[in-house]
């Protein structure tokens, strides 16, 4: 029961991170980029320690547009692991969002695991409501990445980090072993704890269609 509560709490935290990033006035993620994305990955409280060689670890969720184009899939649990060379001594905790911008990036997400910047091209995303004009070059990237640390939003590089399925969290949420590919196909009912996240993404899509 405690594990189930942990997964539910992470889902709620993911919704809060997305809400804060979307509503950060002119310093948040451009909403039209969210509305154009194929999938959204949210990792609340990604832990990062940079001691000569930086290491990253976090747990979060990914949801993708249904193939019908109407609505979003149930959330699938993922882990972010890996590192990059760095020289800053210290550590911090960051909330992270990845926007998967095209079908190619989405197909990589459906693998059991893949490495950002290796198998999937990724770029630090632009900020602000008027940032769309700056994204032409970035739109070649399959994914755009964002972070929040101590209330400040920024683009973030996750080169070399690995995304893979979090089997335990999926088991907690859905009560059985299930592949992320099946969850993201849009044929699995979302748990009640995903309602807030689903409402936020639906609201964004509706505001774009007006």
pLDDT at 77: 93
Q: Which residue from 196, 193, 164, 192 is spatially nearest to 180, judged by alpha carbons?
A: 164
Question: Using the 8-state DSSP alphabet, how is residue 101 labeled?
Answer: -
pLDDT at 196 over 70: yes
Q: Give strand pairing partners of 82.
A: 56, 161
pLDDT band at 33 (very low <50, low <70, confident <90, very high): confident
CA-closest candidate to residue 94, choices 185, 143, 164, 155:
155
pTM for the model stands at 0.83
CA distance 205 to 210: 9
Asked whether the predicted pLDDT for residue 136 surpasses 60, the reply is no
Q: How many degrees, rounded to 5, is the angle at CA 15 between CA 167 and CA 99?
A: 75
Give pLDDT tens digits for 7-31. 888 999 999 988 887 776 666 677 7
Residue 49's pLDDT band (cuts 50, 70, 90)? low
């Amino acid at each position: 029961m405690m594990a189930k509560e942990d997964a539910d709490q992470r889902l709620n935290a993911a919704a809060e991170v997305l809400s804060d990033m979307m509503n950060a006035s002119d310093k948040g993620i451009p909403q039209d980029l969210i509305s154009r994305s194929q999938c959204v990955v949210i990792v609340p409280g990604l832990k990062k320690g940079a001691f000569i060689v930086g290491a990253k670890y976090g747990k979060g969720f990914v949801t993708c547009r249904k193939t019908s184009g109407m609505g979003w899939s149930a959330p699938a649990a993922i882990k972010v692991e890996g590192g990059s060379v760095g020289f800053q001594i210290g550590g911090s905790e960051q909330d992270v969002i990845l926007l998967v911008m095209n079908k190619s990036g989405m197909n990589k997400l459906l693998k059991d695991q893949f490495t950002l910047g290796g198998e999937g091209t990724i770029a630090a995303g632009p900020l602000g409501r008027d940032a769309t004009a700056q994204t032409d070059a970035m739109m070649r990237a399959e994914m755009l990445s964002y972070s929040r640390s101590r209330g400040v939003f920024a683009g973030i590089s996750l080169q070399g980090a690995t995304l893979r399925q979090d089997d335990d969290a999926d088991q907690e949420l859905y009560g059985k072993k299930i592949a992320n590919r099946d969850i993201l196909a849009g044929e699995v009912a979302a748990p009640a704890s995903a309602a807030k996240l689903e409402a936020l993404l639906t609201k964004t899509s509706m505001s774009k269609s007006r």
